[in-house]
Structure 1
Amino acid sequence: MDIRQLEYFLAIVDHGGFNRAASALYVSQPALSQTVRSLERDLGTDLFRRIGKRAVLTEAGTALIEPARAAVRGMETARASVEAVQELRTGRLDIAAMPSPAVEPLTSMIRDFGRRHPGVRVCVRAAFTPQDVVDLVRTGTGELGLLTTPGPLPEKGVVSQPVGVQGLVLLTPPDGPFPAGRPVAAEELAGHRLIVVQRGTASRAYVDDLRERGVDFIVAAETEHRVSVLPLVLAGVGLAVVTDSWRATAEQAGALVLELEPNPVLRIGLISRTGPLSPAARAFLDCALTGL
């Protein structure tokens, strides 16, 4: 049994006979009859009694009307839903993102995409390291991913699109140990208390590299909650190395944002699966890349 058979059956019911139904469906009467006979064979019973040119419903045919209409309506709803998603009137897009690029450029990307396709809901899933982002995209948890990395963008199992670069900055309280407007050399962090995040991130790699180079600092706090870094800095717990995407938020909150020397360049990548993308994901990629 398929939807076409049910549509033909209902056309006969609604139009009062095979000839009128065939005309309404723009098919030949023999083709219509053959389809209905196939449906009757599938069900193991007659649906109509043929009395001359008339088609009279059997008891089984009468019982089929309501479920047939429900099935046809369900398929029509499904088709409409697919068409709506393809035209991006509705839908959902899951994006896996690290905390720093989730601040920026993802905020601007979602804003621009939302202006073009306001009916599509964007859901951002948390990922703490570049590998986390890649894993979430590969497994389909997120259709797209946004990450930063000091090295090359990932290529194995995903498609990567460069969307910009970021540097690292130092956050201090407004009355911190360094004057505003002057870059801070890495060696000057010796002896200071630092707030660090988990391994696998660019800012953690930076401070770990300082220690390997003999810069002896104190780890005042280690947190996986990136949103807690700024409050800890403002509370005087310590200083923090973060990506430049936090600059505007930190300055608005009252922290001092200082350049670092030397300052590594972090590549920002928008990644996707290697297979076909949904219309929403393709539209988001196009919007993000044309906005560069």
Structure 2
Amino acid sequence: MDVRQLEYFLAVVDHGGFNRAASALYLSQPSLSQAIRTLERDLGSDLFHRIGRRAVLTDAGLALIEPAREAVRSLQLARASVESVHGLHGGQVDIAAMPSQAIEPLTEMIRRFTQVHPEVSVKVQAAFTPRDVTEMVRTGVSELGLLAAPVGIANGDVRAYSLPEQRFVLLSPPDGPFAPNVPVHHSQLAGQRLIVGQKGTGIRKYVDDLQAQGVALSVAVETEHRVAILPLVLGGTGLAVVTDAWRGWAEQSGALVLDLEPSVSLQIALVSRRAVLTPAARAFLESAVLQAPDPLA
């Protein structure tokens, strides 16, 4: 068993099958299958059930995921540490981020980091809930994560660094039901149709809580595709509650961005693995938390 075999195994897991993993690895599908068969023989256990074109993890395969990620990350750390002896002249930072926070503060974090370390690339991976982010960081899919939650950030197997909170705001088309520059009380959302994200997100919880409090709003569209929210609002399908990270983009697109009363915010945190980080990830973390240097735990 070698690290490359483990990288191949994780590619099949992450891409959901042999064909897509082979494409991502620039390998032929038979070569990848043979490498996995060799790994299975070395371990003495099947890692996947082959069901037609599908590859479903066996119990042994599930048990291998975290050790495999740790082994691959350890090798990456060793290589990156040696390469960084004379400064950061390459490498990659992996960050799992929720959609709204990928707009801000992540874009500003990346801008600041790449100005200092232009030779380091940044890979942003999509995660839709705080649980998704922390799980991706905990299991080594990503070294860093950016998340938002309505209450305190749970730490557990990750280390969390607090960032400035983000307030909820209301997106409306310019000819919508509310006047520009006038805050909207949440009770005024009664009778309105809203576009919402999936359950498990902070902005969805805000809307669900209003309904639980008796605000008679209705859900016009539920979408996991956050990029669809603004076009739907501008098209008149409904209004949307988002964080003020959207403000600049939404206003440039012609939408009204209205404050909500009473003000409610999401807590934002950058999280990292508790294990040793690669030099590139450490440098990104240090750059990102200059204004919030103390970890929550």
Q: What TM-score does the superposition give when structure 2 sets the normalisation length? A: 0.70
SS at the partner of 2:289?
helix
2-structure distance, mates of 1:192, 1:256? 16
Who is 2:235 aligned against? 235
**Distance of aligned partners of 1:161 and 1:79 in 2 relative to their CA distance in 1, 3 Å threshold:** closer
SS at the partner of 1:270?
strand
**Distance of aligned partners of 1:178 and 1:79 in 2 relative to their CA distance in 1, 3 Å threshold:** closer
2-structure distance, mates of 1:85, 1:193? 56
Q: Tell me whether 1:131 sits opposite 2:131 in the alignment.
A: yes
**Distance of aligned partners of 1:135 and 1:81 in 2 relative to their CA distance in 1, 3 Å threshold:** closer
1-structure distance, mates of 2:127, 2:80? 34
The structural deviation recorded for 1:263 is 2.0
The structural deviation recorded for 1:219 is 1.1
Instruction: Note the 1:1-292 alignment, pairs <5 A.
Output: 82-84=82-84, 87-290=87-290
Q: Which amino acid aligns with 1:128?
A: F
**Distance of aligned partners of 1:80 and 1:197 in 2 relative to their CA distance in 1, 3 Å threshold:** closer
The structural deviation recorded for 1:82 is 3.2
SS at the partner of 2:101?
helix
2-structure distance, mates of 1:211, 1:259? 19
The structural deviation recorded for 1:163 is 1.5
Who is 1:26 aligned against? none
The structural deviation recorded for 1:87 is 2.1
- Contact 1:167-1:244 within 8 A present in 2 as well: yes
- Contact 2:80-2:279 within 8 A present in 1 as well: no
Q: Which amino acid aligns with 1:140?
A: G
The structural deviation recorded for 1:86 is 6.8
Identity of aligned residues (%): 59
Q: Which amino acid aligns with 2:236?
A: G
SS at the partner of 2:141?
coil
1-structure distance, mates of 2:173, 2:276? 47
- Contact 2:81-2:278 within 8 A present in 1 as well: no
Any stretches of 5+ residues in structure 2 without a counterpart? Answer: 1-77, 293-297
2-structure distance, mates of 1:159, 1:258? 34
CA deviation string 1:105-140 (max 9, x = no partner): 100000010011111110000000111000000011
Any stretches of 5+ residues in structure 1 without a counterpart? Answer: 1-77
Number of equivalenced pairs: 215
2-structure distance, mates of 1:103, 1:79? 31
**Distance of aligned partners of 1:116 and 1:221 in 2 relative to their CA distance in 1, 3 Å threshold:** same
2-structure distance, mates of 1:239, 1:132? 26
- Contact 2:166-2:267 within 8 A present in 1 as well: yes
The alignment yields a C-alpha RMSD, in angstroms, of 1.7
The structural deviation recorded for 1:262 is 1.4
SS at the partner of 2:176?
coil
CA deviation string 1:38-75 (max 9, x = no partner): xxxxxxxxxxxxxxxxxxxxxxxxxxxxxxxxxxxxxx
Q: What TM-score does the superposition give when structure 1 sets the normalisation length? A: 0.71
**Distance of aligned partners of 1:85 and 1:196 in 2 relative to their CA distance in 1, 3 Å threshold:** farther
2-structure distance, mates of 1:270, 1:84? 23
- Contact 1:85-1:280 within 8 A present in 2 as well: no
Q: Which amino acid aligns with 2:145?
A: G
